[in-house]
Amino acid sequence: MCADERKKGTNMQYRVVFSDIDGTLLNSKHQVTPDTRLEILSLEQRGIPFILVSARMPDGILTIQNQIGNHAPIICYSGALIWGTNGEILYSCQMNLNLAVQIKNMLDKEFPNICCNTYGHNKWIVDDDKNLWVRNEETITGIKSKIGNIEEAFAKNAGIHKFLLMGDPKDILILEKRLKQDYPNLHVAKSTEYYLEVMEEHVRKSKAVRILCDHYGYSMDEAIVFGDGHNDIDMLKDVKNSYAMANAPKEVQDSAAYVTLDNDHEGLLVVLKKCFES
């Protein structure tokens, strides 16, 4: 752990923290614990940004950030969109709208049991807002989806930031294989066994972390990252001081430098206290 490393003489000073939200920062009740919130605010008072990194849309992340009460940039859509502290766009990487429409038509025709959610900036477009997958996601994020045609909804921006495809794990596996085969230039990754994310090929959480480290003038070695999902693997591998949650799948744990306690036992808080103890 961090405290032990310092005793060995590394004198590492961590200057920024990046954390996934669901399954990492939030416990299984989708809550930030009071002690974790206080620790994050304490870090901010000491000049250490706590940056949320999520597959969520901006408003879904801001809901959590507002609960905490800290002020920092946010990384949305697994790195496809970065907002600055004041809501300014620092980075945006979209999938071409024509390609997105092509994929959506294929999904409608060949995978009717898959629930397709299409995101761009702060829009969330679905076919049926009464769908149980959609309603569950609305409950978790506190955001309301909108029914619409993606070609019309995203015409102004000429692209989307992400597809979130929901379904039975067996169907998700088949769809993942199909998309990777037919669209090798897209980034296709599971966030859970039920959720598959599809984005432009260059989208990575690790790239977004590097962009913000450069923004602050910090090296990647001065960062700590936390995650629990398959879409966190690249970030956990690329950052030296990386922590997977004990509730993460084995593949995710193996990709991190360290494993901390699970999200129901404040694994993130345990590490923060050890890494930033005075």
Catalytic residues: 20
Dist. CA 177–CA 160, nearest whole Å: 22
Contact 84, 138 (CB under 8 A): no
Q: Could you tell me the two tokens for 204? A: 């990575």
Residue whose pair of structure tokens reads 């990754």 in the numeric block? 189
CA distance 20 to 259: 14
Output the six-digit token pair for 186. 């897209």
| Rounded Cα gap, residues 29 and 91, in angstroms | 31
Query: Cα separation of 121 and 161, whole Å?
Result: 7
